[in-house]
């Protein structure tokens, strides 16, 4: 087995350690909002709506930072809001609303992102530079 096969095996092993995670938005602790969150194949998938369904996907390695917010009602119902700051030029901030155990979930998402960045050999500066390049291209098209 050569070094390329060893690296591929290590990358696959790390990516296979990322389990599936599912949750849905809650209002006052009740899952009555039509918004679902799920991790599948190294991507965070956000699904919204009943009659008109929308789906957004965020590759986990593009997450740069995570922030958790909790109101007094969130503290009572043990829920919270998680903001994911990404290098995605179209949607730089993804908001996960009404998440159970938001602190643990925020840490989990950030850990997954860091594991994938390490496995893929992606550095934060590379992502940030790619984001700036995408914005410059979009700005030139507008002119």
Instruction: Among 48-52, 69-73, 98-102, 134-138, name the one with the lowest average pLDDT.
Output: 134-138
The domain segmentation of the chain, as residue ranges, is 3-142
pLDDT averaged over every residue in the chain: 78
Q: How far apart are the first and last CA of the chain?
A: 53
Architecture of domain 3-142: Roll (2.30)
Express each pLDDT in 52-77 by its tens digit.
999 999 998 999 999 999 999 999 99
pLDDT band at 12 (very low <50, low <70, confident <90, very high): low
Contact 81, 74 (CB under 8 A): yes
How do 43-48 and 35-40 pair as beta strands? antiparallel
């Amino acid at each position: 087995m050569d070094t390329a096969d060893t690296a591929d095996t290590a990358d696959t092993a790390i990516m296979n350690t990322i389990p599936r995670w599912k949750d849905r938005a809650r209002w006052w602790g009740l899952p009555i909002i039509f918004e679902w969150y799920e991790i599948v194949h190294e991507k965070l998938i956000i699904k919204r709506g009943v009659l008109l369904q929308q789906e957004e996907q965020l590759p986990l390695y593009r997450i740069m930072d995570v922030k958790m917010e909790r109101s007094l009602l969130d503290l009572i119902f043990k829920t919270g809001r998680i903001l994911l700051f990404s290098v995605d030029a179209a949607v730089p901030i993804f908001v996960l609303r009404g998440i159970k155990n938001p602190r643990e979930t925020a840490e989990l998402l950030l850990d997954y992102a860091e594991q994938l960045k390490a496995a893929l050999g992606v550095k934060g500066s590379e992502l940030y530079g790619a984001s700036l390049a995408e914005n410059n291209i979009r700005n030139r098209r507008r002119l």
